[in-house]
Structure 1
Amino acid sequence: MSALNRKQWCFITIIILSLSYLIAFFFPFKTALIFYKENTEQIAMFLPLDEGDTFQHIFTHSIHLTDVVEKYEVTHKNTIQQTEIIYEEFAIGMPANAQEGEAFTYEDGKYHIKNINQTFDQIKLRNGKVVSENRLVWGNNAQYQVYLNDYVQPGAWFTVKMDKVTLWQYLKGVRVHE
């Protein structure tokens, strides 16, 4: 091999390694439930989830001060499907009955609306400011729970949606963990 060929080989190797590095770090690879700050693309926090995974958003209602549980599932289209809502009191903002195809039940002192089939590309969510006890729950049998206040300020609001994160975002971002 002549010196010129070695230089060309080194140059090609450097280019291939550089491109591999860029692809590995900046190509979206992992789906996650991402909390974008307000109406931006700036990630406040994320929870790695896959198709079929479930999660819950639990918040304390600011009027009747009891917990409201919203249950969701990640669809095959990477959207968020609400499947159930559980609450203790009828008050402002709480449903009075189920819609067509849903089931309204009363179990263990709580109202349940089951079989909800509402799908969202995104959800606008505010972390409680007055009564700030919003929680994110996930895992088999809802085994993991975190308070949003451990990750974001009370009163902060987000656009929440399923999206993919890059390795760079995954390594530098605020990943929700148990």
Structure 2
Amino acid sequence: MARSTKKWGTLTAIIFILIAALATYIFYPYHYILTFEKQRTGELLAYLPIEENRNFHIKYTHSVHLSEVVEYYQAIEGNIKPVKLVYEDTAIGMPSDAHGEDTFRMEDGKYIIEKSENATPFEELNLSVGQVRAEHKVIHNNQTYLLKNYVGAGTNVTIDAQTRSRWQLWKGVNMLE
């Protein structure tokens, strides 16, 4: 009788440990990602797995002068830090000089603003995904993701760097898949 009770106690402990491990696997937020959420509702539309302190870019065609713009960012400590801006025209909607400690230069016919190390990170980025010309793309690890394919053209999204659980990720579209 004592041997049977000990056997059930061991089995119960093993089951409890397996359930705790499974719950941790599903519910503990350990996936660092860029989220693309619908602005008004916060609905997770898509996400891109990214390592913390890693760079990504947003590339698009400017709607007025129809030239390429690339914005460089770093996902750091749950924020998005601007790193650099590269563009071809200083016309409508684009800066003609750097501010504060940032640097401004021209290289290979393109204007480049490099942000200082002291640049203030953003909690999130807000973006209206272009319907016609913009062709907003996110570039990470030499892979390009056309945003309208994941969130829809004309959608207003909030881009954020977050840690999420596997359970939370089941609600969105993994851009790597």
- For the criterion TM > 0.5, the same-fold answer is yes
Count of aligned residue pairs for this structure pair: 174
In the other structure, the counterpart of 1:84 is 84
Decide whether the 8 Å contact of 1:122 with 1:162 is kept in 2: yes
Question: What is the one-letter code of the residue matched to 1:83?
Answer: V
Whole-angstrom distance in 2 between the partners of 1:118 and 1:138: 22
What is the TM-score of this pair, normalised by structure 2? 0.86
Question: What is the one-letter code of the residue matched to 1:32?
Answer: I
Classify the secondary structure of the residue corresponding to 1:74: strand
In the other structure, the counterpart of 2:139 is 137
Identify if the C-alpha distance between structure 1 residues 165 and 6 changes in structure 2 by more than 3 Å, giving closer, same or farther: same
Whole-angstrom distance in 1 between the partners of 2:158 and 2:60: 17
- Displacement of 1:78 after TM fit? 2.5
Whole-angstrom distance in 2 between the partners of 1:17 and 1:135: 41
Q: Which piece of structure 1 moves more, 36-45 or 57-66?
A: 36-45
In the other structure, the counterpart of 2:17 is 16
In the other structure, the counterpart of 1:73 is 74
Say if 2:159 is the partner of 1:157.
no
Task: After superposition, give the CA deviation of every residue in 1:127-162 in whole Å (9 maximum; x if it has no partner).
Answer: 1123240011122xxx22121122121011111111
In the other structure, the counterpart of 2:126 is 124
Structure 2 residue runs of 5 or longer lacking an equivalent are none
Task: After superposition, give the CA deviation of every residue in 1:14-48 in whole Å (9 maximum; x if it has no partner).
Answer: 33322221111111112111112224443211111
- Displacement of 1:89 after TM fit? 1.4
Decide whether the 8 Å contact of 2:70 with 2:87 is kept in 1: yes
- Displacement of 1:3 after TM fit? 4.7
Classify the secondary structure of the residue corresponding to 1:120: coil
Q: CA RMSD in A?
A: 2.2
In the other structure, the counterpart of 1:64 is 65
Identify if the C-alpha distance between structure 1 residues 113 and 21 changes in structure 2 by more than 3 Å, giving closer, same or farther: same
Whole-angstrom distance in 2 between the partners of 1:4 and 1:52: 52
Whole-angstrom distance in 2 between the partners of 1:12 and 1:138: 44
Decide whether the 8 Å contact of 1:87 with 1:112 is kept in 2: yes
Whole-angstrom distance in 2 between the partners of 1:12 and 1:167: 25
What is the TM-score of this pair, normalised by structure 1? 0.85
In the other structure, the counterpart of 2:111 is 111
In the other structure, the counterpart of 2:175 is 176
Quote the sequence identity (%).
Answer: 31
